[in-house]
């Protein structure tokens, strides 16, 4: 594992992407100590200030420091991405594992996943949030459920050729039960494509949360969430475009970093994918 990680780091693109994401994670963790102002502090006399030495990224329509809100917003957006992806990884991976290993469960599980896949992820998340109500936890559940079907299908496709592999037959021959085989033989050999998609899903989850909050669905608009911040600046694009531009650029950097890292990880784990 150490050798593989060192080989992965030999590519400078991988290092740059990891550094960018690590910076965002560190800023999110250290936000209470590195943020120059209280992200909720309203000062109407300082509203619409352009970037300056006092406010590096300017202030918004309520005079709040945008840099501070970006830093605190990183905690919300990255938490949503990690938890939502974790939910989809566990639920979708488990369903895909069962569907791929047990032929009797394959058709019913996959038909349910097909129904969910027929609904666009954002529309499905909107419906779930509408049913559960707004809030951070409900938003994470909604986004996680929206990407469960893809995790299930990827896991199933990875498990299908493994259920008749020689090492699985050998495990059955020595009396190993199905839970043991799934845990020790099948799952470890099917995890590579799931990890790749999990990396890509982190960006998808962050973007989905931003879209939902941009539409006013999900969290309290007072919270410093990047999508809500971009939405709040729509009415002031001419006089203060930085209110929308800064959080939008932040979303772009995080999402593109996760997506590019996922592509690099896919090429590293499966060299046949290289073009």
- For 95-148, what is each residue's pLDDT tens digit? 999 999 999 999 999 999 999 888 888 888 888 888 888 888 999 999 999 999
CA nearest to 195, candidates 94, 89, 41, 72 = 89
Residue 149 belongs to what H/E stretch? Answer: helix 136-159
Across residues 168-182, what is the average pLDDT?
Answer: 86
199/11: higher pLDDT? 199
Alpha carbon distances (Å) from 104 to 108, 148, 150, 186, 197:
8, 20, 20, 18, 26
Q: How far apart are CA 132 and CA 126, in angstroms?
A: 10
CA nearest to 80, candidates 125, 14, 133 = 125
Structural domains of the chain sorted by starting position, each given as residue range(s) with its CATH number in brackets: 12-25+65-273 (1.10.3720.10)
pLDDT over threshold 70, residue 270: no
216 sits in the region (left: phi over 0; alpha: psi -120 to 50; else beta) called left
CB 152 within 8 A of CB 99: yes
Q: Mean pLDDT across the chain, nearest whole number?
A: 88
pTM, two decimal places: 0.88
Q: What is the pLDDT of residues 206-264, one digit of tens each?
A: 999 999 999 888 788 888 999 999 998 888 988 899 999 999 999 999 999 998 888 88
Q: How far apart are CA 253 and CA 119, in angstroms?
A: 27
Residues ≥6 apart with Cβ < 8 Å to 35: 65, 67, 68, 71, 72
In this prediction, residue 4 carries a pLDDT of 58
């Amino acid at each position: 594992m150490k050798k593989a990680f060192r080989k992965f780091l030999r590519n400078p693109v991988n290092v740059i992407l990891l550094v960018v994401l690590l910076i965002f994670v560190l800023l999110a963790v250290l936000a209470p100590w590195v943020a120059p102002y209280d992200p909720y502090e309203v000062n109407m006399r300082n509203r619409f200030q352009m970037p300056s030495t006092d406010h590096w990224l300017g202030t918004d329509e309520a005079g709040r420091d945008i840099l501070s809100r970006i830093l605190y917003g990183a905690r919300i957006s990255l938490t949503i991405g990690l938890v939502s992806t974790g939910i989809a990884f566990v639920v979708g991976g488990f369903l895909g594992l069962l569907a791929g290993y047990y032929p009797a469960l394959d058709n019913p599980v996959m038909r349910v996943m097909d129904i969910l896949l027929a609904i666009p992820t954002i529309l499905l998340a909107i419906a779930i949030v509408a049913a559960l109500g707004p809030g951070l936890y409900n938003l994470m559940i909604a986004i996680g459920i929206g990407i469960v079907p893809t995790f299930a299908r990827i896991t199933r496709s990875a498990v299908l050729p493994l259920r008749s592999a020689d090492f699985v037959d050998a495990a059955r021959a020595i009396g190993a039960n199905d839970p043991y085989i799934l845990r020790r033989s099948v799952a470890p050999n099917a995890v590579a494509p799931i990890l790749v998609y999990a990396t890509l899903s982190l960006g998808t989850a962050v973007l989905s949360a931003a879209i939902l909050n941009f539409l006013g669905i999900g969290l309290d608009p007072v919270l410093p969430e990047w999508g809500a911040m971009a939405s709040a600046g729509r009415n002031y694009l001419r006089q203060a475009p930085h209110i929308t531009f800064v959080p939008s650029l932040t979303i772009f950097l995080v999402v593109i970093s996760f997506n590019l890292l996922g592509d690099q990880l896919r090429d590293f784990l499966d060299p046949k994918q290289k073009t």
